[in-house]
Amino acid sequence: MTTQGEFVIRWTPIRDNLGEYFPICFITEGLSGSSVYQSEMRCVVVEVGRRKVKAKVVCDETKMTVEVEKSSVTGIHEDHLRLNDPSNSACDLQRFSNNTHIIGVIPLNACGTQIEEDDDNLIFKNEITTFDNPNDIITRHHQVEIQFYCQYAKRGNVSLGFTAHRDSITVVEKGFGTFTYQFEFYQTSQFTNMVDPRDYPLDVVVKQMLYMDIEAVSTVNNTELFVESCRAAPYDNPNYHPTYPIIENGCIVDETVQIFSPRHQRHFQFGMEAFKFIGMHDQVYISCSVILCEAGNPNTRCAQGCVNSTSPQPAGHHHRKREAAMQTAKHHISQGPLRLRRSSESSVTNMNMGLMVGCIVAAVAMLCGVMLYKDKTSGVKYQPLTTFET
């Protein structure tokens, strides 16, 4: 007995299935009168691949133009998309978009465009990102990201020197002599295994717990360390904008921060969940403002602890403290970078990732545009605050 028919197997994979193979086996049964017929088992192998985004990138000497077909990306609208730096009105994606395409015309020196280089090329990168609140600057959640860049051939060779790990800083102050601040990352909350300086930059994933220890090394007895503020920035510059506050005025700002009891009063040990800055900033530096005080003195900034910025301070308070050499001036110490692995590099792989390349040849160089699309669940929080004060 021979019959023919069509059967449809429906199955929805998840993000973690990207690149994996799944065998699906089945049999068919037929009924003829009182007899039941069964076929041999058949198997098919399904590969979970990447969904292509229909888009193109055109590069010229001063700008990048990117066009994304709306129909190829689910659930995006130009009024909820932005480039790395949305503050410039010239970078508004609604200016050129239409009913069928998201269109961005991005100057090479604006809209948060990042520049990198290798031995042969200059690479200008930017990214289209979804947002819920236009004022958000960081996220611990995944969102839609459409990355693109233009690559320009260059003449000659350029070599860059880069030292990742930040060394300790040594300070000399009247009444405290010579002392040193050290800022290090640790493997666990036990603070027994320090991360090797040769391992920097540190590769971490979003929401991974980070453990940090700041230590004041001093020959002066009866001193204590106070961390007044800590901020995160995509560069090792506390005045760079945007920065994200972790601790402010001695008060915890980030909701994931955990303070640990140190083994000595000249240590400050804390932990927090890793995050990334929204946009193409894939690295994070942590910079803290620290003070060394006379231990047990109730008139020092260390003794005050968390102080609300609106709380009144006694007149001449800081002047008297400095005269009596009860505390040092504020000093800044930083460590990093932390390099945030994207979801395609980590265990949270992404199914909907497309890569598209378009190249044109100009008279002066070869220009290449590349686009990478990531579909993630949207969800951002945190508000921007001011940068470090000098």
Per-residue pLDDT band for 43 (boundaries 50, 70, 90) equals confident
Question: Does 169-200+206-308+321-340 match 55-156+355-374 at the fold level?
Answer: yes
Task: Identify which of 304, 272, 305, 308 has the alpha carbon closest to the alpha carbon of residue 382.
Answer: 272
**What is the mean pLDDT of the segment spanning 16-40?**
81
Q: What's 55-156+355-374's CATH class?
A: mainly beta
For 166-182, the pLDDT digits (tens) are 778 888 777 777 889 99
Q: From the CA atom positions of the chain, what is the Rg in Å?
A: 28
Strands 145-153 and 121-130: antiparallel
According to the model, what pLDDT value does residue 237 have?
63
Token pair 């689910």 is found at: 74
- Where are the chain's structural domains? 1-49, 55-156+355-374, 169-200+206-308+321-340
Per-residue pLDDT band for 158 (boundaries 50, 70, 90) equals very low
According to the model, what pLDDT value does residue 189 have?
95
Lowest-pLDDT range of 174-188, 239-253, 344-358, 361-375: 344-358
According to the model, what pLDDT value does residue 3 have?
64
Selected from 3.40.190.10, 3.40.50.2000, 2.60.40.4100, 3.40.50.720, the CATH number assigned to the domain covering 169-200+206-308+321-340 reads: 2.60.40.4100
According to the model, what pLDDT value does residue 50 have?
65
pLDDT, averaged across the chain: 75
Cβ atoms of 321 and 299 within 8 Å: the answer is yes
Cα(346)–Cα(324) distance, integer angstroms: 53
